[in-house]
Amino acid sequence: MIMGEGYLAQGKIRPALREFLEAESKFPDDYRLQNDLGLVFLASEKYDRAIDHFKRALELKPDFSDAYNNMGIAYLRLEQWDKAIECFKHALANILYPTPHIALNNLGWVYYKKKDYTKSIKYYKESLQSFPGFARAHRGLGLTYMAMGKYEDAIDSFRKAINYAPRFARAYFELSQAYLKLNRILKAKEMLNKVIELAPDTPLARQAREVMENI
């Protein structure tokens, strides 16, 4: 099981699955193992199978917030927003859940996707109250402000994201888009160049170059 988790952390999906399936044959009622199997199938984009394993983990340990959060991510990928929301709220119902900022951030993202920007902001801010340095929540808040046309607020949020995560290439790209909305061309170019520096030979870098060419 430990070896499988190591493979999973390295993104080696097949070896991780092999290790977990072997472990399951010996320990079918290990709730953490069921969660690990769910994570493998989540990484493989086999969302229905992932959900089955997260549900099994929760049958074995009903207060296992990680499994609720992970199942919510699977529903999010399937664009089943209301089911995702239900899962994230179940995760947060456990007062001993050690990482509530993650589930709160995920709620912010779901409501962003639902275009309910007021609730999106609410949950992103609650995530940041729990963990002020959580770059993903700053980035999500920035995207929500962008969708609302609040470009100065978006810039502030994206800048906080890169302050806490200086190699967060996606946040630099999104910051460039906020600068472009305000016609701040030199700042936009600076951020696009940073994207290319941080993530060369990636689709994001190619997109940054295309934007540069059209400015």
Q: In the predicted model, is pLDDT for residue 20 greater than 90?
A: no
User: What is the chain's mean pLDDT, rounded?
Assistant: 95
Q: What is the pTM of this model?
A: 0.91
What CA–CA distances, in Å, run from 150 to 1, 125, 161? 47, 16, 17
**Percent of the chain scored above 90 by pLDDT?**
87
Domains in the chain and their CATH numbers?
Answer: 1-98 (1.25.40.10), 111-215 (1.25.40.10)
Q: Are 91 and 101 in contact (CB under 8 A)?
A: no
The values of phi and psi at residue 12, to 5°, are -90, 90
31-83 pLDDT, tens digit per residue, is 999 999 999 999 999 999 999 999 999 999 999 999 999 999 999 999 999 99
129-176 pLDDT, tens digit per residue, is 999 999 999 999 999 999 999 999 999 999 999 999 999 999 999 999
